[in-house]
Amino acid sequence: MDQKLAGKTALVTGASSGQGAAEASLFAQAGARVILSDIADEAGEAQAQAIRDGGGEAQYRHLDVASEDEWANVIDGIATDFGALNILVNNAGVPLRGGSVTNTKLEDWNRLLSINLTGPFLGIRTAAPLIRDSGGGAIVNTGSIAGLTGHFATAYSTSKWGIRGITKSAAMELVDWNIRVNAVHPGLVHTPLVEESVDFVQALADQTPMERGASSEEIAKVVLFLACDDSGYITGHDIAVDGGFTDIGGYWRVLKQVMAQPDQNI
């Protein structure tokens, strides 16, 4: 594999499984020193070991992204051990599909926002000075198509719309530090977060023009693009990686149901 991240140090949150694990693995294959972080310590250590077993360089560090103190400890540790940080991927997140605006508990609302939105805020705020002092680099935030369209889970959708705002504001503010900030917005992805939601997965696949979900590796490839110099002139941007759901999903259904059928009254 091309060593697009050779000599770079990267921190990936939520890296014990799913998209984060795939991103960390791909970054290591591309030559980066990777720090995996999560609260699932056993799984995170196993992922880091798997990378090392494959010839990559990886460490695992416990990180609750909602904790200001834990962010400080992790970034200070990276500065001490590596002397630099070039890439931050704010991937950690949790779902809450069942909560409408009228029945979401405040406790659930606060917990979800603390992880999905406050977490990336703390990550950017804490890591950006070290990235600056390392010569600049890239921050990639994980959003969702729930932040690009109307969505039925109020708290989750709010957190992902917030990701778009913090991405664009941070990109504006950090451009003078030679730090690019972008966001990737996946649609249906086959990860442990959705594997038990059979009906949800099928319904979303049925509405996706490519008629399937993505693998974690497909998302990781886009994150790698945003993290490496191939995207060196892109900042403040949202990239939907959703099989066409956001941009053509509605009219694709019209095409499939009416326009492409014979003898339709159109």
Hey, which residues are catalytic here? 156
Q: What is the DSSP letter of 214?
A: B
* Tokens 């059928």 belong to residue: 261
The angle at the Cα of 211, spanning 210 to 213, to the nearest 5 degrees, equals 90
Q: For residues 220 and 15, give the distance between their C-alpha atoms in angstroms, rounded to a whole number.
A: 12
Spatial distance between the Cα atoms of 144 and 178, rounded to a whole number of angstroms = 26
Spell out the residues 6+ positions from residue 193 whose beta carbon is closer than 8 angstroms to its own: 18, 94, 95
CA dist 51 to 55, 60, 192, Å? Answer: 7, 11, 20
CA dist 241 and 188 (Å) reads 9
- Give the number of other Cβ atoms within 10 Å of residue 35's Cβ: 28
* Surface-to-core class of residue 25, CB atoms within 10 Å of its CB (0-12 exposed, 13-18 middle, 19+ buried): buried
